[in-house]
Amino acid sequence: MNSRVSVVIACNEPIGPPSYEPAFTRVVSANGCLLVSPKELELRQHLRLTNLSTRRTVEGVVVWKGVQRPDGWDMGVEIATQGLDFWGVEL
C-alpha cells in the first residue's frame, strides 16, 4: 500500500554507539516497506525501525538497495515480526 510513514532507523555501528536517522516510507506491507533513508545502507544490514505514529519498534533487514534520489536512498526492508500492527493502517 502506498503510504508515507515517518520512522526512525537505528543501526548498530562497528565502533561506537548506534546511529539514529529520521526516514520515511513510500510503500508499506505486512512483510516490510520501501524505505527512504538519508543514509546509504548496506544489503543484509540489520536495523530497527520505530514508527513515530504508533511508537512501535520492529527488527528488519535491508533486502534491496535502489538508487539515491533527491530525498534519500530507496531501500527495501523486510521486517522480522509479522502480524504486528506496526504501520497503524489496515493492510
Domain housing 49:
6-72
Q: What is the pLDDT of residues 6-47, one digit of tens each?
A: 999 999 777 778 889 999 999 999 899 999 999 999 999 999
What amino acid is encoded at 29 in this protein? S
pLDDT higher for 57 or 82?
57
In a domain, 84, yes or no: no
pLDDT of residue 78: 96
Q: How many domains does the chain have?
A: 1
In a domain, 36, yes or no: yes
Written as nine digits, the cell of 34 is 520501501
**Residues paired with residue 8 on neighbouring β-strands, in sequence order:** 22, 50
In a domain, 48, yes or no: yes
In a domain, 79, yes or no: no
In a domain, 37, yes or no: yes
In a domain, 65, yes or no: yes
In a domain, 31, yes or no: yes
pLDDT of residue 60: 94
Full-model pTM? 0.89
pLDDT of residue 1: 77
Expressed in angstroms, the distance from the first to the final Cα of the chain is 7
- Which residue do the cell numbers 545502507 mark? 41
Q: What is the pLDDT of residues 45-81, one digit of tens each?
A: 999 999 999 999 999 999 999 999 999 999 999 998 7
pLDDT of residue 82: 66
In a domain, 89, yes or no: no
